[in-house]
Amino acid sequence: MTDTKTRILDLAENLTQSKGFNGFSYLDLAAEVGIKTSSIHYHYKSKADLALALVERHREALEAAFKRLDDDVANPADRLESIVTHFKGYIGEEKICMCGMMAAEFESISPAVRKALALYFRDFQNWLAKQFSALGHPNPPAVALQYVSALEGSLLLARLEGDASVVDRSLDGFVNT
Amino acid sequence: MTDTKTRILDLAENLTQSKGFNGFSYLDLAAEVGIKTSSIHYHYKSKADLALALVERHREALEAAFKRLDDDVANPADRLESIVTHFKGYIGEEKICMCGMMAAEFESISPAVRKALALYFRDFQNWLAKQFSALGHPNPPAVALQYVSALEGSLLLARLEGDASVVDRSLDGFVNT
DNA sequence: CTTGATATCTACTGGTATATAGATAGATTG
DNA sequence: CAATCTATCTATATACCAGTAGATATCAAG
B123 touches strand C (CB under 7 A): no
In a domain, A7, yes or no: no
DSSP tag of B174: S
CA at A14, C1' at C12: how many angstroms apart? 30
* CB-based contact B149:A154 (threshold 8 Å): yes
Band of the pLDDT at B148, cuts 50, 70, 90? very high
Domain annotation covers residue B177: no
The average pLDDT across B115-123 equals 97
Mean pLDDT of chain A: 94
Inside any domain, residue B176: no
Q: What's the domain range around A79?
A: 54-171
Instruction: Identify the pLDDT of residue A176.
Output: 62
Please tell me the distance from the alpha carbon of residue A143 to that of residue B139, in angstroms, as a whole number.
21
Number of domains in chain B: 1
Interface residues on A facing B, Cβ-Cβ cutoff 8 A:
18-20, 22-23, 94, 96, 100-101, 103-108, 114, 117-118, 121, 142, 145-146, 148-154, 156-157, 159-161, 166, 169-170, 172-173
What is d(CA A158, CA B59) in angstroms, rounded to the nearest whole number? 19
| Residue at A45 is within a domain | no
pLDDT by residue (tens digit) across A113-166?
999 999 999 999 999 999 999 999 999 999 999 999 999 999 999 999 999 999
CA dihedral sign of residues B83, B84, B90, B92: negative
Separation between the CA of A37 and the C1’ of C18 (whole angstroms)? 23
B19 touches strand C (CB under 7 A): no
Q: Has residue A12 got a pLDDT over 50?
A: yes
ipTM: 0.91
Residue A37 lies in a domain: no
- Residue from B103, B27, B90 nearest A18 by CA: B103
Instruction: Decide if A105 contacts B23 (C-beta within 8 A).
Output: yes
Q: Supply the CATH number for residue A112's domain.
A: 1.10.357.10
Q: Please report whether residue A35 resides in a domain.
A: no
Q: Is residue A32 part of a domain?
A: no
Residue B87 lies in a domain: yes
Q: How many CB pairs under 8 A join A and B?
A: 135
Of A101, A114, A150, the CB nearest to B149: A150
- Asked if A39 CB < 7 A from strand C, the reply is yes
Is the pLDDT at B162 greater than 60, yes or no? yes
Neighbours of B10 (CB within 10 A): 15
